[in-house]
Chains A and B, each alone.
Chain A
Amino acid sequence: MSFDGAVRRLESVARPDRYRQIEQLPPDAPRTVRGGGYSYAPASFGARTTVQRTRDFNRVLSLDPENGILECEAGLTLGQLHSVATPHGWYLPAQPGYPLITIGGCIAAEAHGKNHFRDGTFRRRVLALDLFHPAHGILRLTRDSHADLFELTCGGLGLTGQILSATLALDRLEGTRVEIRRVSLGRLEEAVPLLEQWAPKSRFLYTWHNLSVSGASFGRGFLYTGDFRPESGLARDGGERFTPITAEDRGRWRVCLLNRATTVLFNAAYELAQRASSRVRVLSLFEFLFPVARKVAYYELFGRKGLHEYQMLVPVESFEDLAATLRRGLMRFGVPIALASCKLFKGERSLLRFDGTGICLALDFPRSSGSERLAGFLDGVVREARGLPNIVKDSRLPRETVEACYPGYESFRRSLRAFDPLRLYRSEISERLGL
């Protein structure tokens, strides 16, 4: 089952827990590597292969407490890494918002955090990788040796082989608490100037928008800017307890509680609650990095049918037009937008990585009859804006959209086939996108 609830398949899942078991599959058997299974799209199953889970390969191999270099197996989760690194005064910037996501998943999906404008994507943290492929054995990839394969594997959607372990460069922790300041913004377009204005003064930065209001204040909301609270020291983190959610049990509620009326209500209630609360809040680093850990009910609201998360990265210059198009266009689909949020990106585009410079806008909406059409409309919007859609977040993204938006598509496909002519590692995504 994909996290967004769109794709459900019955497949044979292996759960190796010793190295020889990874190698046990016949060398020509197609396979899929599955980390935590938190990709919204079926990135780690769905190609009628044997799915190999990495959850038991989650050991920390070394930690250099002087220089913040950590080596671990690829099934280590972000939460586990957090609990190992923080006592030594280190943390991993550029991480996605759920603690059970694995290091392997972050590398393969080139994940980002709320600080892309400062810290870039996950790849920047990766110093070396050990990659297993039955035709090539175990290869050590760095920026110097097998450099092309290193590039192909970071953001390679798990298609180059199984990442066994990774060496990561951590950052010094300047406190275990994060102070978040809220700034109001009047409409969606204001996201750009405000994000640009706050970027030099922020460590973490993102916005929230209410797209349920029409007219001039469409997309009004808040900007949140965060930084470490210097005096907090290595206080107890306190937030590490949470009830796990998996792709399989996200949809345990049969019905979707988010329709147009409730979405208007939820968004208004959130806005009110924010305005009523203090402008500055202090959270533990764990709570801040993994906000979803204790708010999984949000995902359950979408019910069995699930949700779309449409995430796009568009150049700053296109954002104003994009906002106008959304203001005019969204209404006609009758699909409630449960969540809209922007982040600021400063990076470079290459291959199939969700990376570059611009504004990253994410829209969550329930899966319904009109939602497919809305997503199709957004495909057009992204193309028009010369932007990128995020591949691991969209279970339906058509191949032609990806080909049109990602100039690196062809070169990724060619390099992958040169490395692995049999194309052993597959997924629903690789089949849909013809990779």
Chain B
Amino acid sequence: MTCVIVGASSGLGRALAEELARGGHPLVLVSSDARDLLPLASDLTVRFGAAVRTVAADAAEHAGLAAALDRAVPSGQPITALLFPVGAVEQRDDGWLEPELAERLVRVNLLSVSSVVGRLLPRLISQGSGTIVGFGSVAALRGRSSNVLYAAAKRSLESYFESLRHLGEPRGLTVAFYVLGYLDTQLSYGSRLLLPRADPKRVAKRVCRALGRERGRRYVPWFWYPAGVLLKAIPWAVFRRLNS
């Protein structure tokens, strides 16, 4: 029954938490600051009667996070889903980022996911069921001059989820990876964008409706699929001019 959400305190993660609480799932919510997690947990408990545990941990310390989560998810309880709407960007991520910050981006956006999955995978496999959901970004469709390492980490994540499908599906697991367009959240707030931002609540509804049934890579909102195909088809000589 339990769903684990890493990156639950805001944006899409918060919307997913609300949607799953409404659906009656016990939740384990993770983000870096208890001040944000506790009000959210109370809210979901009051409004939906949900059983909510919280884990406040820095995702950059991914091994510690994985261990903390392993302890927080009660061992007798089946895990229905692991969802990873965690993500962080860095303003100066333009290719010249200091090594410490660069490493941090990779830890938060990639290694936090692989470490937690690695730690909980044995439990999922022994259950013989469970869903793992990752979130990529259209920012990683092509290389860019901003969010350089963020995009690199997200593309790695996509590759990781494809591998995870190989690993998980024969053992009864469902693995889904959503390539997300721009969302109306803090992560993209204030930036100028060509295509509209999606409401994280709608994206969360969309993801939860298909939870456990949908597998593989999906684009959300849907129009990013054709947009992505187009974007990838643009030859380098043209693309470099667009991306100035």
Contact = CB atoms under 8 A, between A and B. Distances in A.
B46 to A, nearest CB: 5
B92 to A, nearest CB: 17
Contacts of A63: 46
Contacts of B11: 17
B40 A59 contact: yes
B223 interface: no
A56 B189 CA distance: 13
B39 interface: yes
A18 interface: yes
B39 A84 contact: no
Contact of A15 (B33, B42, B43, B189): B189
Interface string B79-99: 000000000000000000000
Nearest to B36: A18
B182 to A, nearest CB: 15
Interface string A31-74: 00000000000000000000000001101111100000000010
Nearest to A84: B47
Interface string A66-92: 000000010000000000100000000
B180 to A, nearest CB: 17
A140 to B, nearest CB: 15
Interface of A is mostly: mixed
A56 B185 CA distance: 10
A21 to B, nearest CB: 8
A56 B46 contact: no
Nearest to A20: B33
Contacts, number: 40
Given A18-B33, A20-B33, A61 B47 contact: no
A200 to B, nearest CB: 36
A59 B42 contact: yes
Interface string B179-202: 000000110010000000000000
B35 interface: yes
A61 B39 CA distance: 6
B14, B35, B39, B42, most chain A CB atoms within 10 A: B39
Given A18-B10, A84-B47, A59 B33 contact: no
B108 to A, nearest CB: 15
Nearest to A165: B39
B188 to A, nearest CB: 11
B121 to A, nearest CB: 30
B42 A62 contact: yes
A17 B33 contact: no
A56 B10 contact: yes
A59 B21 CA distance: 14
A366 to B, nearest CB: 34
Nearest to A76: B43
Contacts of B47: 60, 84
B30 to A, nearest CB: 14
Contacts of A57: 39
A21 B47 CA distance: 25
Given A56-B10, A84-B46, A84-B47, A19 B40 contact: no
B42 A61 contact: yes
B33 to A, nearest CB: 6
A381 B220 CA distance: 59
Contact of A19 (B36, B43, B186): B36
B9 interface: yes
A62 B35 CA distance: 15
B240 to A, nearest CB: 33
Contacts of A15: 186, 189
A18 B39 CA distance: 11
B10 A61 contact: no
B184 to A, nearest CB: 10
Given A60-B46, A84-B46, A17 B40 contact: no
A329 B46 CA distance: 54
B154 to A, nearest CB: 21
Nearest to B10: A17
Contacts of B40: 59
A17 B186 contact: yes
Contacts of B9: 18
A59 B43 contact: yes
Contacts of B46: 60-63, 84
A50 to B, nearest CB: 12
Contacts of A16: 186
B43 A60 contact: yes
Nearest to A80: B47
Nearest to A72: B43
A56 B36 CA distance: 11
Interface string B23-49: 000000000010110011011001100
Contacts of A62: 42, 46
A84 B48 CA distance: 10
A19 B40 CA distance: 12
A377 B9 CA distance: 52
A78 to B, nearest CB: 16
Given A18-B10, A19-B33, A84-B47, A60 B186 contact: no
Contacts of A19: 33, 35-36
A18 B11 CA distance: 10
Interface of B: 9-11, 14, 33, 35-36, 39-40, 42-43, 46-47, 185-186, 189
Top 3 A-B pairs, shortest CB-CB distance: A59-B43, A19-B35, A59-B39
8 contacts: A15-B186, A17-B186, A59-B39, A59-B43, A60-B47, A61-B43, A61-B46, A62-B46
